[in-house]
Each structure stands twice: as structure tokens, then as C-alpha cells.
Amino acid sequence: MTGDESESVHRYHHYRVIPALLVIALGVFFLLGNLGIDFPFFTWTHWWAWFILLGAAWPLSDAWARYRRLGKVDSLVLRELLTTAVIAMVALMFILQLSWQQWWPIFVIYGGLCMLVRDPRRRDRVRVR
């Protein structure tokens, strides 16, 4: 195996660590629930919301991998973290049975934060007059 192939395998392994740990944690919660150990935030009526929360693992993993590769937080890392945050917020709204009517302004704040982070795919356009 060449150095490039070894680095690629190493990078792939780290890319999958966060989602794998979240899947394991989810399985542990289900197992403990089956054994009669209940958690107030883990109700069976909202078990499906944990899968929404699990969806936050991928953008978080992407952000972590990019941060480790660059050694700094850039706009792509921030975008991935904001994506992680909004997925987690939606899931937690269901898991904690929070009132959408009360907490909807969080999503307005999220929109403002997204507006502050520059989109790296958008090129600076010079306006010609």
C-alpha cells in the first residue's frame, strides 16, 4: 500500500467515527429502554426523532474532517456546523417535546447566522456600471 492509499484509508476511517459512535449510542439507548431503564428525554413516542438527530452526524463529520485537514475554521466548516445545528434543533424540538409556537424564533436566528457566513461557492462579483 502506498503512502497515498494509506492516508486515504486513514482519512476514511476518521470520517466514519462520529456517525458510528452516534449509531452505537442510539443502540445503547434502545437496549437500555428494552431492559427497563428509562430516560426522560428518550420516550418511545418520539423514537423516530432520534433518527433525525442521527442525520446531524454527517455534516458534523464533514466539518470535523475539513477542520482537521485545514487546521482552521473556514466558511465551509461553519456551513457544515450550521447544518448540523439546524438538524439537531429540529430533532430536539421533537425529543424534548418543545412548543414550536414558542421556539420558532430560533430558526430566524439560524437564518441570520447563515447570512453571515459567506458561501464559498459564490464568487465575488464585481459590478460594472
Q: Are 87 and 56 in contact (CB under 8 A)?
A: yes
Q: Are 87 and 115 in contact (CB under 8 A)?
A: no
Residue 43: the pLDDT is 62
Q: Are 75 and 120 in contact (CB under 8 A)?
A: yes
Is residue 61 in a domain? yes
In a 10 Å sphere around its CB, with 0-12 CB exposed, 13-18 middle and 19+ buried, how is residue 110 labelled? middle
Give first-to-last CA distance, the chain, whole Å: 57
- Residue found by looking up cell 503512502 in the block: 3
0.75 surpassed by pTM: no
* Nearest one of 62, 94, 106 to 81, comparing CA atoms: 62
Q: What domain count does the chain have?
A: 1
- pLDDT tens digits along 32-78: 878 888 777 666 677 788 888 888 988 998 999 999 999 999 989 99
Is residue 79 in a domain? yes
Is residue 125 in a domain? no
Is residue 51 in a domain? yes
Is residue 63 in a domain? yes
Is residue 42 in a domain? yes
Is residue 65 in a domain? yes
Is residue 129 in a domain? no
- pLDDT tens digits along 2-39: 655 555 555 556 667 777 887 888 788 878 878 888 77
Q: Which domain holds residue 110?
A: 13-118
* Nearest one of 72, 73, 80 to 114, comparing CA atoms: 80
